[in-house]
Amino acid sequence: MSSIRENWRIVLLVIVLLASTFALFSPTVGGTDDGNAATEGPTNLKYGLELSGGTRIRAPLVGVTAEGVDIGDSDTRQVARDVAGEMQAASPSDVIVRRTAQSTATVEVTAENVTTEELASTLDTLGLSYETARDGVTEPTRAEVVRVLQNKINEAGLSGGTVQQVTTATGGHFILVEVPNEDRSDVVDLVESRGAVRVDIYYRQNGSYTTREGVLTGDDFQNIGTAQESERGPFVPVTVRPEAATQFQQAVVETGVARPGGSTCTFEESPNTTQPCLLVVVDDRVVNSFGMSPGLAQSMQAGGWADDPGFQLTTRNFSEAQRVSINLRAGELPAKLDLEGEDGGTSSFISPSQGDNFKVNSVITGIIAVLAVAAVVFVRYGEAKVALPMIVTAFSEVLILLGFAAGIGYALNLPAIAGFIAVIGTGVDDLIIIADEVMAEGDVTSRRIFQSRFRKAFWVIGAAAATTVIAMSPLAVLSLGDLQGFAIFTILGVLVGVLLTRPAYGDILRVLLTEDR
C-alpha cells in the first residue's frame, strides 16, 4: 500500500490510459450513428471532412441591417410590414425587426438585391431615424440560421454534418457547413433554400381567380410527419395548431374548397376553369395543388374538423414530400446563404478516396514523428531506462487525447491531427528537460536530491505550458474554423502533460534512478 501511495501518479496514469482505451475501442461508446456523426473503422473515432470526404460550403448571409433605428413604441411587426411595403424586392417575411432598447431596434432586410442605400432611403421615407446601415445581418439571425441548417441536415439524415459560424481576421462573418460523404449538389440543394412552406387557396372571386396566401404557414403546424407513399401519391401527414385550425377551416369553407361533395382541382391542367384548390408552396414555388375529398369537406362544413385538425399535404413526387417534411420540421431560414455573391461564398467537394489518402498520410506522418523522436532520444541518452519511459509517456498523451476525442464524439480533421503531432513534439521536449535537469550533475542517489532537481525542471516546463495555453486560447474560443481544432487539442495535450504525464514520468525516473525508492 505504501508503494501505491508513493507512486500514485503512475497508478493514475495507468487508470486514465485504460479509460482512454475503453473509450477508443469499446462498442458501447460512440459506436452508433447518432444523427450528427458516425464512427468509421474498428475504433470509435469520428472523422471530419478532410479525412472522410464530402462537401464544404462557406458563405455569408444575404441581408442588410440598420442599427439604432428609432421606432418609439411602435409594434415591431407593423414596422416590418411598413418597411416591406416600401420595397419592391422584399416581403414582410424578409424584414426582421428586433428591439435593442426601449425605443430603438435593428431592422434587417434579408431579401436578395437590396442595398444599404435602399434600406436607408426606405427608413428616411418612413421617417425613422437610424445610426448606421451596413451589409450583413445580426448575431441572433446568424445563430438562428445555424440552428435551422443543423436541423435540416439532421432531418435529412446526413450523418456527421455540422454547421457553425466562423469569423475572419477582418471581422467578416460566414456560415460553414460540412457534410461528410455527400455530393456537393445534394448539399447545396438542401441548404440554399430558405424552406418557407405555406398553404395558399386558389379560387374564383368576383368573376376572376385570386390567391389567398398563407392560410397556413410553417408556424401553424403542430405535428409534422415524415414523407409517405399512398395510392393517391406521396404526402406528408400534418396536424394544425388549434388556434390556426379554426381560421383555416373557415377559410376553406368561405372560398369553396370545402364545398358539398368536395372539390376537384385542375390547377396545373386548366387554372382558368378549375374548382377551388389548396396550393402547397415552397419558397414561392407551387409544388402541388389539390382539392378536398367529400368526407373532409363535410367535416369542415360541419365545423368538426377543427376538433381533430389533421390532414395530408400531397406532393407530385416523393422527393418533394421529403423536402416539405424537412423544411417544416427544421423551420424557415431567416436569411439565405449567399453562394454566388462577391463576398467570398464558396463550396467544394472532397472525394472519399482523397479523404482516405489524407488518413493514410496522417498515419505515415505520425509514424515518422514517432521514429524521429525515438531515434533522437536514444542517441541523446543511450540508456534504455531513461529513453524508453520517455517515449512511452509521450505517446500515452496521444492515446489519452484519442480516447477523449472518441468519448466526446469529436470529428477529427487535419488541424486536430497536427495538434496531436505538436503534442508529441512539445511533450518529448518537456521530458528531455526533466531528464537533463535530473541527470545534469551526475547520478541521482537519493530521493531528496531527485525531488529538488525535478521541481526545478517542473517550474520550467510549467511556465512554458502556461505560455502555450495563453497563446492558443484565442484560437480555441474564437470561431476561426479549422484553427480551433488545432488549438483545442494542443491545449488539452499541454494540460494532460503538465497535470498527469510529466509528474508520472518523474515518478518513473525516481524509481529507476534512485536507490531509496
pTM above 0.75, yes or no: no
- The residue ranges of DSSP E strands in 338-410, in sequence order, are 346-350
* The pLDDT of residue 160 is above 80: no
Mean residue pLDDT of the chain comes to 85
Looking at per-residue pLDDT, the higher value among 216 and 507 belongs to 216
409 pLDDT band, cuts 50/70/90, is confident
Is the four-CA dihedral 15, 17, 18, 19 of positive or negative sign?
Answer: positive
Q: What angle, rounded to 10 degrees, do the helices at 482-496 and 447-477 form?
A: 160
| C-alpha distance from residue 93 to each of 122, 194, 198, 408, 471 (Å) | 17, 11, 12, 39, 44
Q: What percent of the chain has pLDDT over 90?
A: 32
In the predicted structure, residue 457 carries a pLDDT above the cut 70: yes
Question: pLDDT, tens digit, for every residue of 459-491?
Answer: 888 888 888 888 888 877 765 556 778 888 889
Give the pLDDT of residue 346.
Answer: 82
* Choice among 127-141, 238-252, 438-452 with the minimum mean pLDDT: 438-452
Sign of CA dihedral 268, 273, 278, 279: positive
Distance CA 172, CA 264 (A): 52
For 20-29, the pLDDT digits (tens) are 999 888 887 7
Q: What is the DSSP string of 292-308?
A: B-HHHHHHHHHT-GGGS
Contacts with 512 (C-beta within 8 Å, 6 or more apart), sequence order: 385, 386, 389
pLDDT of amino acid 416: 85
- The mean-pLDDT minimum among 139-153, 208-222, 348-362, 463-477 falls in 348-362
Residue 82 and residue 128 in contact, taking contact as beta carbons nearer than 8 Å: no
Q: Are 76 and 98 in contact (CB under 8 A)?
A: yes
Mean pLDDT score, 409-432: 81
- pLDDT reported for residue 341: 64
Look at residue 34 in the predicted model and tell me its pLDDT: 43
What are the beta bridge partners of residue 236?
313
Averaged over 392-405, what is the pLDDT?
A: 86
Candidate from 72-86, 238-252, 423-437 with smallest mean pLDDT: 423-437
Q: How many helices (H) and strands (E) does the chain have?
A: 16, 17
Average of pLDDT values for 141-160? 88
pLDDT value of position 481:
58
- What pLDDT does 145 receive? 93
Q: Provide the pLDDT for residue 33.
A: 45
* Contact status, residue 389 vs residue 15, Cβ threshold 8 Å: no
Residue 2 is predicted with a pLDDT of 55
CA 503 to chain centre: 38
Give the whole-angstrom CA distance, residue 494 versus residue 431: 12
pLDDT at 444 over 80: no
Given this model, what pLDDT does residue 445 score?
63
Spell 39-69 as b/e; 16+ CB within 10 A means b: bbeebbbbbbbbbbbbbbbbbbbbbbbbbeb
Give the range among 37-46, 62-71, 241-250, 423-432 with minimum mean pLDDT: 37-46
